[in-house]
Amino acid sequence: MPKKNNSKKANRTTMSPNLELFLEHSIDPKNRLLYWGNEEIEAESTERLIKGIYILNDLGSKPIRLLLNSPGGDMYQGWAAYDAINESKAPVNIEVYGHAMSMAAIILQSGNKRLIHPRGVIMIHDGVQEMDGEVRSTESWSDWGKKERKRIYSLFAEKTKKDFFYWENKFAKDTIFNAEQALEVGLVDKIIKKSL
């Protein structure tokens, strides 16, 4: 009578190393793919993205595909991601799945190609700036916030089909664009019609 094999290895489904990397670290080196999905922009997710860009740049110069699905988050971490994408040796093409809101909408503008899937949405606003403390310090932060908003409006005017004053008006409140509207104003370059 044959012996039963009780080892876990015999019963376990094995994953390819590529799939394990993607599930654990949101990077697929074989397909030059990064996934930044359904999480806020904060230190850990930004670090993972920047390391992923570094790794893929080290492996070659073909375009990197970044799948973005984010509600936004920390502005400083967002600018770190923006700069890393913008300064990547390999072009980074960004695809919006689901949503790119707040800081994620700004990060989208760093893409070599800015793409959106048919049901994707983009939301922009001035964000939230909470201040407390000594009066002069809060005045300093307030002045900095005004300058930062102007920098963002200028960036959007440079990257899109609309001018500074259009974006100043749109950022004044939560403004949501569906895929067609985003294409019309130049927030994206193309609507992707086929799925993964």
Determine the distance from the C-alpha atom of residue 20 to the mean position of all C-alpha atoms in its chain, rounded to a whole number: 22
Q: For the domain 24-130+173-191, what is the CATH code?
A: 3.90.226.10
CA distance 63 to 51: 16
Q: Phi-psi bin for 186: left (phi > 0), alpha (psi -120 to 50), beta?
A: left
102 in active site: yes
Catalytic residue among 125, 140, 142, 154: 125
Please list the pLDDT of the chain residue by residue as tens digits (196 residues). 555 554 444 333 565 666 666 666 689 999 999 999 878 999 999 999 999 999 999 999 999 999 999 999 999 999 999 999 999 999 999 999 999 999 999 999 999 999 999 999 999 999 766 656 687 777 887 788 899 999 999 999 999 999 999 999 999 999 999 999 999 999 999 999 875 5
Q: Give the list of residues 6+ apart from residue 120 with CB closer than 8 angstroms, or none.
A: 96, 97, 98, 99, 100, 178, 179, 182
Catalytic residue among 45, 102, 110, 117: 102
CA distance 27 to 18: 8
125 in active site: yes
**How would DSSP label each residue in 19-62?**
HHHHHHHSEETTTTEEEEESS-B-HHHHHHHHHHHHHHHHH-SS
Question: In the chain, what are the domain boundaries?
Answer: 24-130+173-191
